[in-house]
Homo-oligomer: A and B are copies of this chain.
Amino acid sequence: MTNPRNTKAKQAVLNEIANSSFALSQPELFERVKGTCDRVTVYRVLDRLVTENKIHKIVNIDGTINYALCASCDDSHSHAHDHLHFSCVTCKKIECLEEHLIQVKLPETYQIKELFLTISGICPSCQPL
């Protein structure tokens, strides 16, 4: 990969991710950009955006992969994903809680690379009165 190009498909997908308050899956994204590009292109665009540190993957508690903007890692020098995710059992939406960091201690025999913490529960919007 030399110079990444700014294509219509890439713009459309990134735009949907940027304007969403929660993380979106490939099927959801394809539905939203339908007509703009092919199904396969969405997969390839997502891979590229992840490589370029524009977005990051979030695996939900059921195994579905969702994508969200990299908010705190626009500056390409520090790219850490030690924040927390919240997955609502009611509306099924998953969101980044960037302000909540995680700290874990393990024995020296483990070499830690990345943390994935997702909390399932009921989000503020879905709270019963």
Cβ contact of A64, chosen from B63, B100, B113, B120, cutoff 8 A: B63
Across the interface, name the chain B residue whose C-beta is closest to A104.
Answer: B119
Q: Is A50 an interface residue (CB 8 A)?
A: no
Interface footprint category on A:
20 to 34
Task: Kindly list chain B residues whose C-beta atoms are within 8 Å of the C-beta of A113.
Answer: 89, 119-122
Q: Footprint of B on A, CB under 8 Å?
A: 59-65, 84, 86, 89, 97, 100, 102, 104, 106-107, 109-124, 127
In contact, A110 and B84 (Cβ under 8 angstroms): no
Task: Kindly list chain B residues whose C-beta atoms are within 8 Å of the C-beta of A86.
Answer: 106, 110
In contact, B121 and A111 (Cβ under 8 angstroms): yes
In contact, B122 and A111 (Cβ under 8 angstroms): yes
Across the interface, name the chain B residue whose C-beta is closest to A62.
Answer: B59
Q: How distant is A45 from chain B, measured CB to nearest CB, in Å?
A: 18
Cα–Cα, bound, A60→B60 (Å): 10
